[in-house]
Amino acid sequence: MTALNELLASTPIGWRDLLDIAIVSILIYEVFKLVRGTRAAQMMVGVGLIVGLLFLSQAAQLETVNWLIRNMVGYIVFAAIVLFQSDIRRALAHFGRAPFFRVLAKSEAVDESIEEIAVASTMLAKDRVGAIIAIEREIGLRNYIEGGIPLDAKVTYDLLVTIFQPTTPLHDGAVIVQEGRVAAAACFLPLTVNPRLSRELGSRHRAAIGLTEENDAIAVVVSEETGIISLVLEGRIERDLTEDDLRTRLRRLVTYRRSARRERWYSFH
């Protein structure tokens, strides 16, 4: 303890040192969490044994063992890269999904999701398959996500079209898109109680209007009866959109939501 106190007293610790320790600790934690339950965990145990044997050979002056281990390190690293290339790819993908990198790739992911939603809506409308897709903006939709079936999947038109097929268990309800990913499916939304709505609007349209009356979300609705694509915002609905119309509206309302958080109805035209 005396030696430790002397070391701490002679070495001032600043905020950079604390930041350095915190970053290294987080990286070590993420690595251990990533390799837990995989073949890489066994490899780490083997590497630990080799490192321990290296220090033991130095302490015990086992020159042959020390020379052998030091000359084998390069070959071991090369072999590990070849044998565990799939685990290395998975690790890099995991770190690429970290919050910091997600912020950098957010705009591109949103653009891709908008394109996929536009294509999926057109395909569903062509086949007269009913659908409702809610897109989260500034106000979170966590309450509705928790009430559905969590997916956390990339937005693709194949996935959206499959979800809303009448033969699938998830078709009844809404899909909620959050940060460019399908957060959940089979989500039930509140129905509007607005008495002035047309009787032609079914339960999907009323649910989309009810949702957007409560927050700033956007809802895309495909009518099962008519195949018409509608866009709902702030409790108001615009009907009979083409694929290009829908793509243009979504890009303006979602991609640029930071510069115009609360788009008014005149922004549709």
Instruction: Supply the CATH number for residue 252's domain.
Output: 3.40.1700.10
Last residue of a domain, one of 68, 102, 136: 102
Provide the domain limits for residue 171.
106-268
Residue predicted with more confidence, 68 or 125: 125
Q: Determine the pLDDT at residue 34.
A: 65
User: pLDDT band at residue 40, thresholds of 50, 70 and 90?
Assistant: low
Alpha carbons 8 and 34: distance in angstroms, whole number = 33
Number of helices and strands (H, E) in the chain?
11, 7
pLDDT at residue 267 tops 80: no
How far does Cα 78 stand from its chain's mean position?
A: 33
Least confident of 105-114, 122-131, 198-207: 105-114
Last residue of a domain, one of 102, 127, 142: 102
pLDDT at residue 136 tops 60: yes
Q: Determine the pLDDT at residue 177.
A: 94
Alpha carbons 258 and 132: distance in angstroms, whole number = 24
pLDDT at residue 257 tops 60: no
Same-domain status, 42 and 146: no
pTM: 0.60
Residue predicted with more confidence, 145 or 48: 145
Q: In DSSP terms, which residues pair with 175 in a beta bridge?
A: 133
pLDDT at residue 13 tops 60: yes
Same-domain status, 50 and 71: yes
Mean pLDDT of all residues belonging to the chain: 80
Last residue of a domain, one of 76, 102, 128: 102
The backbone torsions φ and ψ at residue 126, rounded to the nearest 5 degrees and listed phi first, read -65, -35
Instruction: Answer positive or negative: Cα dihedral of 204, 206, 208, 211.
Output: negative
Q: Judge whether 176 and 141 are in contact, CB under 8 Å.
A: yes
Q: In DSSP terms, which residues pair with 149 in a beta bridge?
A: 185
Counting every residue, how long is the chain? 269
Q: Determine the pLDDT at residue 264.
A: 44
Q: Determine the pLDDT at residue 97.
A: 54
Q: Determine the pLDDT at residue 90.
A: 62
pLDDT at residue 131 tops 70: yes
Give me the number of domains the chain comprises.
Answer: 2
DSSP H or E run through 229 = strand 229-233
Least confident of 19-28, 119-128, 249-258: 249-258
Same-domain status, 13 and 26: yes
Q: Determine the pLDDT at residue 100.
A: 47
What percent of the chain lies above the pLDDT cut of 90? 33
DSSP three-state, residue 182: strand
Same-domain status, 130 and 75: no
Same-domain status, 6 and 36: yes
Same-domain status, 188 and 229: yes
Q: Determine the pLDDT at residue 121.
A: 95
User: pLDDT band at residue 194, thresholds of 50, 70 and 90?
Assistant: confident
